[in-house]
Structure 1
Amino acid sequence: MNFPEMFVDGDGEPIVMLAHGAGAPADSPFMNQLAGALADEGLTVLRFEFPYMRARREDGRKRPPGSQARLMEAFAGQLEQVRRQIGRDRPLFIGGKSMGGRLASMLCAEPDAAAWCRGAVCFGYPFHPPGRLDRWRTEHLSEAVVPVTILQGTRDPFGKLDEVSALEPFGPEVKVHWLEGGDHDYRTPKRQGASQQALIRQAAALAAGAMAV
């Protein structure tokens, strides 16, 4: 298979297409570790970059992500391209890190989402900006028409355990799994026995379970 401008890991039957977060590219250390862990779980992992990040790669200049509408259009375009190449029968999931996961979950709230993917997996969901409990990003979750699985660190400043638990449930299709001690990148306190790598692998295993077909 040929997936232009994509990173491809693994050779499993189900495919998961991952988008990066706002500030780091598709081959950041976190995304590399996550893709490897998901591939070890028997998945094919596709990673792509939004136009602003591809432009940064070309000239080294940092840029903001741009409008949500343009990001959604880019994600939907990549999804359509992949679905066209693999056909309608092969299991396809979407997801991503932080912003990428949020956009994936928004696509899952589109009425025709089931025609394109079987669900989403979100790694470090940005429930709200750090310290801004008045700005929740969850309204669309109640409208998800396919399963959305969120893998969240209990210390994530974008949505800690006590903050998020006070609002759950978000909708019948949404499930949040908690990773003990993890921050937004699944880093853990030194006193904790589990490492960041261990939490990434735990998140990958939970995600693979949610995507089991």
Structure 2
Amino acid sequence: MTTLEDVTIAVDAYIRVSGLWQRPAAARAVLVLAHGAGVGMAHRTMAALADGLADRKVATLRYQFPYMERGGGRPDGPALAQATVRAAVAEAGRLAGALPLFAGGRSFGGRMTSQAQAATPLAGVRGLVFFAFPLHPAGKPATARAEHLGTIAIPMLFLQGSRDALAALDLLEPVVAGLGTFATLVLAPDADHSFHVPARTGRKDADVLADLLDIAAAWMAGAG
């Protein structure tokens, strides 16, 4: 049995955001799961991540960034986004009790989590899990977005599609290699930024996601 609970997260004295606490029976870990730039915590892609992790005995706290709480538009600046990550992690720590705590998310949400960790380590977090880390904008290959990763001293798991237009492999692979033993890169062959694969591969998107979630759950069990 899995329980789903609405929560409210206080970012500061004035800003509140919504969250969804999803905990399976006999949970073994907790992942604080941030959404991407274009969709909120309740989008089907985020629900699929949370539901799949619950099937693997990983609880999740999904949450909105303030701009998405207001209905979307331009993403929050780094300072506010990082403060939101920090507040969500604190709330997850309260809900998790003694369970091992991890943080990360999809695309933009994962990047904001990594920035928060690099600025000041997130309390109680044992590792970071990135679903499609956005190394650069589409069509603009660069590595500036990864510069802060070298200051992070906890394990990081990068789950990436090999055809991700926001993470060219010839840039991403050396970036992750440069992080040494703190980083692990797992590639989904032929998958794009949304973990979609072409029909010609003979695989379905659900199969790709299931494999990645198996890896994420096993990695958290080992890192916890």
**Both structures adopt the same fold (TM-score exceeding 0.5):** yes
Aligned length: 206
SS in 1 for 2:102: strand
Aligned counterpart for 1:9 among listed residues 10, 22, 28: 22
What is the CA–CA distance in structure 2 between the aligned matches of 1:131 and 1:22, rounded to whole Å? 17
Structure 1 moving runs of 4+ over 6 Å: none
Tell me by how many angstroms 1:109 deviates. 2.4
Question: 2:47 — aligned with what?
Answer: 32
Using CA pairs below 8 Å that are at least 6 residues apart, which structure has the higher relative contact order? 1
Aligned counterpart for 1:23 among listed residues 35, 38, 44: 38
Question: 2:128 — aligned with what?
Answer: 120
Tell me by how many angstroms 1:48 deviates. 0.6
Tell me by how many angstroms 1:168 deviates. 3.9
What is the CA–CA distance in structure 2 between the aligned matches of 1:148 and 1:111, rounded to whole Å? 16
**Are the aligned partners of 1:16 and 1:94 in contact in 2 as well (CA < 8 Å)?**
yes
For the structure 1 residues 71 and 80, does the alpha-carbon distance in structure 2 shift closer, same or farther, using more than 3 Å as the test? same
Q: Mean alpha-carbon deviation: is it higher for 165-174 or for 96-105?
A: 165-174
**Structure with greater proportional helix content:** 2
For the structure 1 residues 68 and 53, does the alpha-carbon distance in structure 2 shift closer, same or farther, using more than 3 Å as the test? same
Q: Does 1:94 align with 2:110?
A: no
What is the CA–CA distance in structure 2 between the aligned matches of 1:97 and 1:126, rounded to whole Å? 9
SS in 2 for 1:119: strand
Question: 2:163 — aligned with what?
Answer: 155
Aligned counterpart for 1:184 among listed residues 190, 193, 198: 193
Structure 1 regions of 5+ residues with no counterpart? 57-61
Q: Does 1:138 align with 2:146?
A: yes
Tell me by how many angstroms 1:159 deviates. 0.7
Question: 1:59 — aligned with what?
Answer: none
What is the CA–CA distance in structure 1 between the aligned matches of 2:208 and 2:184, rounded to whole Å? 18
Question: 1:81 — aligned with what?
Answer: 91
What is the CA–CA distance in structure 2 between the aligned matches of 1:49 and 1:104, rounded to whole Å? 13
Residue by residue, what CA displacement relative to the aligned partner does 1:121-173 show, whole Å, maximum 9, x if unpaired? Answer: 11011011111123531111111111111100000000133332244413131
SS in 2 for 1:169: helix
Tell me by how many angstroms 1:80 deviates. 1.6
Residue by residue, what CA displacement relative to the aligned partner does 1:8-28 show, whole Å, maximum 9, x if unpaired? Answer: 334213111100000111111
What is the CA–CA distance in structure 1 between the aligned matches of 2:200 and 2:94, rounded to whole Å? 48
For the structure 1 residues 159 and 147, does the alpha-carbon distance in structure 2 shift closer, same or farther, using more than 3 Å as the test? same
SS in 2 for 1:121: strand
SS in 1 for 2:199: coil
Aligned counterpart for 2:79 among listed residues 69, 80, 96: 69
What is the CA–CA distance in structure 2 between the aligned matches of 1:168 and 1:122, rounded to whole Å? 12
Q: Mean alpha-carbon deviation: is it higher for 179-188 or for 154-163?
A: 154-163
Structure 2 regions of 5+ residues with no counterpart? 9-17
TM-score (norm 1): 0.89
Identity %: 31
Letter in 2 for 1:77: A
Question: 1:198 — aligned with what?
Answer: 207
**Are the aligned partners of 1:16 and 1:45 in contact in 2 as well (CA < 8 Å)?**
yes
Question: 2:15 — aligned with what?
Answer: none
**Structure with greater proportional strand content:** 2
Question: 1:54 — aligned with what?
Answer: 69
